[in-house]
């Protein structure tokens, strides 16, 4: 399986679906089918095709009706192979016309359209097929049909039936006919023929009259290869069940306008759980989506429909001027919870939305209205200007009232001769852990409200801004410009619970604020920027350009293309025409069209790419939304004009239109790993902790170039490490392992040994990066105890001199009733000038020593003991510390000395090798003169 297949395999198999028809539109039908370029309505006596086509800048619809000649006028139509998904329609303001929970089916069947002949409609590779299924007694020559609304019929040189219409050519491919006789399938020659230029019949070659027959024409709408409609996927969110919530808009053939939709797919992408369609008589354009912790979905956007579907009791039930913002809440089934307008007497647009744990929605956008709805505002209306103000509104969880709502912006662009619009626009909004709202967008005013700013002056014609509000919306905590000498726009913002903010957007400024960057210079006429702000908003943590020598942008400035994972890695998408766009582990390593989508992952430091790729076909493609789950799988939606785009569409696998949405799922990782710490939940200062990490290549390809990073806990000391296949380096608390080539299902094992040095919890974070994907694991948090707590469990027997030796023998006993391993320190002090040799002998336990490797197994004496010994030469008044992990047992320690005195103390060690000994820290201190023993 190649990378493209791994990337796109998730959404290939969503089936064609027929919907139960319950009056969604003004057609007679029992079932309907929405396909790219047309909608089909299945009534007992006819099939109606409403086909869309593009003429100049307009989208038009033409109607073709297919009727079966001399057939049953009222056959039974039944749905077959019901699918899990449901479809909801909120079209127009008449609630009685709304449809919830319309069932979906894989097939439908007309029963006994002719005597002994059923017609089965189903999908195959994105095309509509219908089979005539004949019983043994049926007469196939009865079958004939007409198409009203067609200009003319003809049969082309390949035997296909071509019907010309205002919308283009409708083709019925040459029929494939076979019989099943005696458990074998036999093909029958068949062709179309046109009767009196009125209807179409079939001519058959030789066939058996007492065998079942299938006649299988395939319907192809030829404007699949032209320009027939717009469909745009704008954003994607992943809920707690890893279900995909996709938002966008499309040209509704049946309404003749742009409508919005929300689709939810199962976690594996194979099942459509619901689709909700929302709109009125005019254009309705959703712009942003958010999810709460209960599975509810929130959408904001812009509508020009006076009959936009609004719920009873909503905060605002009537529309103002040409455009109003709207706010919608759907439940987990895609049903309306509430829907409301949000606007005043002029144009208002909703661009960004987020939601808190209580289900209150926060919306930002732009308004020209003098009476935009306000509640406890930070700023009231500032006066007329030729342009827009940003707005920030918080609406309660039932959509019935505003909690706060305020204007945001200035009035003065600093140019008294400027007659152009002067705008303040809010595009992205986020909240922190205490429900402070953060807004980004752009401003063209020199008097934009500031407080505690990082940048106190507007530098260009258009600067990005970041503003943090008090939780009640009545004041701002900080507000700052962010930009350079030309145009800069913030399009999205993500905020951690502690208030650290990530902002992205587009800049054309050569002096955009930069700090610790991956890319320090503007390379083209415009680049993406990614900036991380400190929680107080007054300092940048990092800020970087991202782009090449061409142009980088989003589909439009209202699309949110930013996501941040739980490690602080940033994911961003958009469009580029740069041949030198920064790449790492790319799916596509070069531009395929004028513009291609890009997908980039920036690491938590902001100065390194984890991966970056181009994705596109032979014309224009752009990413418009991005999300990441806890496993590092990345989900991207966008728009493509390319018939050869490499990623399969969420609902329909064939390109069909002027613009079309796509969904890409990036699963580039090939490695999995298991992190094990073999230790009790409570350990002591001086214990050695050994982490065992098994890294396995799960396929489908060989793995090379993978990196494992271990951030050693701050309250531990690094002792040693090893890797079975590869190498490692250690610097300033960070271990970096370079893993060698791994075959599929091959593993390598890494050992890391550390020791606690402070009375704090120890949590180890380890990550593996493979082809740009990063996986992480945390060990169990350990509690560190002080060694002084063990004094009551330690008993030291007096030393004695062994016969014929100058070797002192100490016997150390640990309380056998204690189950957990204890930690103690063996501290050796030589107060004289003579040299000392210390031999530590442990017969019962696996023990470790700082800067010394793990005990080895010695079976030379047949006892298989674990032992460790080291000669220690001490200078006068020198102190050295050794520490061991000791389970309950008895241990012998020996000291050989040609000096007059030696002291051996047992207790907690010092962190520094030459720190003076504090006798009070030790359990017992005995000084022996060897010549007196």
Q: What does each C-alpha distance from 838 to 826, 874, 879, 894 come to in angstroms? A: 10, 10, 13, 7
Phi then psi dihedrals of residue 114, to 5 deg:
-125, 160
Looking at per-residue confidence, does 781 or 855 come out higher? 781
Tell me yes or no: is domain 561-668 CATH 2.40.10: yes
Q: Worst-scoring range by mean pLDDT, 8-22, 436-450, 525-539?
A: 8-22
Instruction: Give me the mean pLDDT over the 414-436 stretch.
Output: 89
**Percentage of the chain modeled with pLDDT above 90:** 35
Q: What pLDDT sits at residue 444? A: 93
Q: d(Cα 879, Cα 925) in Å, to the nearest integer?
A: 14
pLDDT in tens, 308-324: 999 999 999 999 888 99
Q: Are strands 621-628 and 634-640 parallel, antiparallel or unpaired?
A: antiparallel
Q: How far is Cα 873 from Cα 559, in angstroms, rounded to an integer?
A: 70
Residue pLDDT, tens place only, 248-273: 887 776 666 788 999 998 877 678 89
pLDDT of 215: 82
Nearest to 838 by CA among 902, 900, 761, 887: 902
Residue 375: φ, ψ to 5°: -155, 120
pLDDT reading at 494 higher than 80: yes
Pick from 278-292, 586-600, 831-845 the range whose average pLDDT is largest. 278-292
DSSP for residue 230: B
**Greater confidence, 344 or 694?**
344
pLDDT of 540: 96
Q: What is the pLDDT of residue 3?
A: 37
E strand residue ranges, 667-705: 671-677, 682-684, 689-697
Mean pLDDT for 47-62 is 77
Categorise residue 864: left if φ over 0, alpha if ψ from -120 to 50, beta otherwise: left
Q: Where are the beta strands (DSSP E) in 508-606?
A: 527-533, 540-546, 552-553, 562-564, 570-576, 596-602
pLDDT tens for 864-896 read: 222 333 444 445 555 444 444 444 444 444 444
Average pLDDT of span 414-437: 89
The per-residue pLDDT for range 85-112, each reduced to its tens digit, is 999 999 999 999 999 999 999 999 999 9
Tokens at residue 897, please? 């000395």
Greater confidence, 914 or 568?
A: 568
User: What span, in angstroms and rounded, lies between the C-alpha atoms of 480 and 451?
Assistant: 7
Q: Decide: residue 447, CB within 10 A, 0-12 exposed, 13-18 middle, 19+ buried.
A: middle
Backbone angles phi, psi at 453, to 5 degrees: -80, 150
671-785 folds as Immunoglobulin-like (2.60.40)
Q: How much is the pLDDT for 647?
A: 46
Phi/psi for 311 (5° steps) reads -85, 150
Enter the tokens of residue 892: 């012998």
* Residue 920 confidence class, pLDDT cut points 50, 70, 90: very low
Read out DSSP for 93-127?
S-GGG-EEEEEEEEEEEEEEEETTEEEEEEEETTE
Q: Which residue has the higher pLDDT, 719 or 47?
A: 47
CB 909 within 8 A of CB 827: yes
pLDDT of residue 913: 36
The pLDDT, as a whole number, for residue 112 is: 93
How far, CA to CA in Å, does 35 sit from each of 38, 657, 854, 924? 5, 11, 67, 86
Closest CA to 747 of 703, 700, 711: 703
Size (the chain), residues: 933
Q: Are 325 and 402 in contact (CB under 8 A)?
A: no
Contacts of 830 (CB under 8 A, 6+ apart): 836, 874, 875, 876, 877, 878, 897, 899, 902, 903
SS (H, E, C) 187-202: EECEEEEEECCCEEEE
The structural domains of the chain, with segments of one domain joined by +, span 3-225, 561-668, 671-785, 787-932
Q: Is the distance from CB of 337 to CB of 412 less than 8 angstroms?
A: no
Strand order of the β-sheet with 794-801 is 794-801, 807-814, 890-897, 836-841
pLDDT at 513 over 70: yes
Spatial distance between the Cα atoms of 526 and 508, rounded to a whole number of angstroms: 4
Share in percent of the chain as helix, strand, coil (round to 5): 5, 50, 45
Tokens of 376: 């406890």
Residues with Cβ within 8 Å of 300's Cβ and at least 6 positions away in sequence, in order, are: 286, 287, 288, 325, 326, 327, 328, 342, 350, 351, 352, 353, 361, 363, 365
User: Strand 682-684 relative to strand 783-785: parallel, antiparallel, unpaired?
Assistant: parallel
Q: 340 and 320 in contact (C-beta within 8 Å)?
A: no
Helix (H, G, I), strand (E, B) or coil at 45: coil
């Amino acid at each position: 399986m190649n990378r493209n297949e791994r990337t796109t395999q998730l959404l290939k198999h969503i089936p064609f679906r027929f919907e139960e028809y319950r009056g969604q539109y003004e057609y007679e039908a029992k079932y309907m089918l929405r396909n790219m370029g047309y909608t089909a309505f299945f009534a007992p006596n006819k099939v109606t095709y409403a086909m869309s086509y593009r003429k100049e800048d307009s989208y038009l619809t033409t109607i073709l009706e297919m009727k079966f000649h001399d057939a049953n006028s009222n056959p039974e139509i039944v749905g077959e192979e019901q699918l899990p998904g449901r479809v909801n329609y909120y079209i127009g303001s008449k609630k009685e016309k709304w449809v919830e929970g319309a069932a979906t089916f894989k097939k439908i069947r007309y029963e006994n359209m002719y005597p002994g002949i059923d017609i089965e409609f189903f999908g195959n590779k994105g095309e509509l097929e219908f089979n005539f299924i004949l019983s043994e007694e049926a007469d196939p020559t009865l079958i004939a049909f007409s198409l009203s609304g067609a200009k003319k019929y003809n049969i082309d040189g390949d035997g296909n039936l071509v019907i010309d219409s205002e919308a283009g050519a409708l083709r019925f491919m040459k029929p494939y006919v076979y019989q099943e006789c005696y458990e074998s399938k036999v093909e029958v020659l068949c062709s179309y023929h046109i009767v009196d230029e009125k209807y179409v019949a079939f001519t058959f070659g030789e066939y058996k009259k007492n065998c079942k027959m299938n006649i299988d024409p395939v319907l192809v709408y030829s404007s699949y290869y032209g320009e027939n409609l717009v469909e745009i996927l704008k954003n994607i969110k992943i809920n707690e069940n890893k279900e995909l919530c996709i938002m966008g808009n499309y040209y509704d053939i049946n309404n003749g306008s742009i409508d919005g939709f929300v689709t939810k797919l199962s976690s594996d992408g194979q099942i459509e759980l619901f689709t909700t369609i929302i709109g009125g008589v005019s254009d309705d354009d959703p712009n942003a989506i958010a999810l709460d912790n209960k599975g509810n979905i929130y959408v904001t956007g812009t509508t020009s429909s006076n009959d936009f579907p609004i719920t009873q009791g909503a905060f605002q039930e009537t529309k103002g001027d040409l455009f109003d913002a709207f706010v919608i809440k759907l439940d987990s089934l895609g049903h309306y919870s509430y829907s409301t307008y949000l606007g005043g007497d002029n144009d208002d647009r909703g661009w960004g939305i987020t939601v808190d744990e209580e289900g209150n929605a926060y919306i930002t956008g732009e308004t020209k209205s003098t009476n935009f709805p306000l509640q406890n505002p930070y700023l009231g209306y500032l006066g007329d200007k030729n342009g827009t103000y940003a707005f920030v509104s918080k609406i309660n969880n039932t959509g019935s009232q505003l909690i706060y709502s305020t204007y945001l912006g200035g009035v003065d662009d600093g140019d008294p001769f400027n007659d152009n619009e002067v705008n303040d626009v809010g595009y992205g909004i986020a909240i922190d852990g205490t429900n402070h709202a953060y807004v980004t967008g752009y401003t063209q005013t020199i008097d934009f409200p500031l407080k505690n700013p990082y940048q106190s002056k507007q530098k260009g014609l258009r600067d990005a801004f970041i503003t943090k509000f008090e939780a009640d919306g009545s004041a701002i905590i900080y507000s700052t410009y962010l930009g350079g000498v030309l145009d800069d726009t913030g399009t999205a913002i993500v905020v951690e619970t502690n208030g650290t903010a990530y902002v992205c957007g587009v800049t054309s400024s050569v002096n955009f604020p930069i700090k610790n960057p991956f890319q320090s210079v503007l390379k083209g006429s415009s680049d993406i920027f990614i900036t991380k702000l400190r929680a107080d908003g007054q300092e940048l943590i990092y800020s970087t350009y991202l782009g090449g020598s061409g142009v980088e942008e989003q589909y439009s400035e209202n699309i949110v293309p930013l996501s941040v994972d739980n490690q602080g890695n940033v994911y961003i998408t958009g469009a580029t025409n740069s041949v030198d766009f920064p790449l790492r582990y790319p799916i596509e390593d070069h531009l395929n069209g004028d513009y291609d989508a890009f997908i980039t992952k920036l690491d938590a430091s902001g100065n390194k790419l984890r991966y970056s790729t181009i994705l596109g076909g032979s014309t224009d493609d752009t990413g418009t939304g991005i999300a990441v789950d806890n496993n590092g799988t990345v989900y991207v939606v966008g728009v493509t004009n390319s018939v050869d785009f490499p990623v399969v569409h969420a609902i329909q696998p064939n390109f069909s239109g002027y613009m079309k949405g796509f969904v890409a799922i990036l699963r580039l990782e090939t490695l999995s790993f298991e992190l094990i710490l073999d230790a009790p939940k409570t350990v002591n200062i001086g214990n050695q902790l050994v982490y065992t990490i098994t890294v396995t290549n799960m396929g489908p390809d060989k793995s090379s170039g993978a990196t494992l990073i271990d951030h050693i806990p701050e309250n531990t000391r690094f002792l040693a490490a090893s890797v079975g296949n590869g190498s490692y380096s250690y610097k300033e608390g960070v271990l970096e392992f370079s893993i060698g080539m791994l075959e599929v299902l091959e593993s390598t094992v890494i050992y890391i040994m550390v020791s606690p040095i402070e009375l704090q919890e120890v949590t180890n974070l380890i990550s593996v990066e493979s082809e740009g994907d990063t996986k992480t694991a945390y060990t169990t948090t350990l509690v560190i105890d002080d060694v002084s707590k063990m004094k009551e469990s330690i008993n030291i027997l007096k030393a004695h001199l062994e016969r014929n030796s100058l070797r002192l023998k100490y016997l150390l006993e640990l309380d056998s009733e204690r189950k957990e391993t204890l930690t103690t320190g063996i501290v050796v002090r030589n107060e004289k000038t003579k040299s000392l040799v210390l031999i530590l002998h442990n017969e019962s336990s696996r023990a470790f020593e700082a800067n010394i490797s793990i005990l080895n197994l010695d079976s030379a004496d047949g006892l298989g003991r674990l032992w460790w010994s080291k000669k220690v030469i001490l200078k006068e008044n020198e102190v050295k510390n050794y520490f061991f992990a000791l389970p309950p047992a008895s241990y012998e320690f020996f000291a050989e000395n040609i000096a007059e005195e030696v002291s051996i103390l047992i207790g907690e060690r010092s962190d520094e090798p030459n720190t003076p000994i504090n006798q009070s820290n030790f359990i017992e201190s005995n000084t022996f003169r060897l010549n007196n023993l």
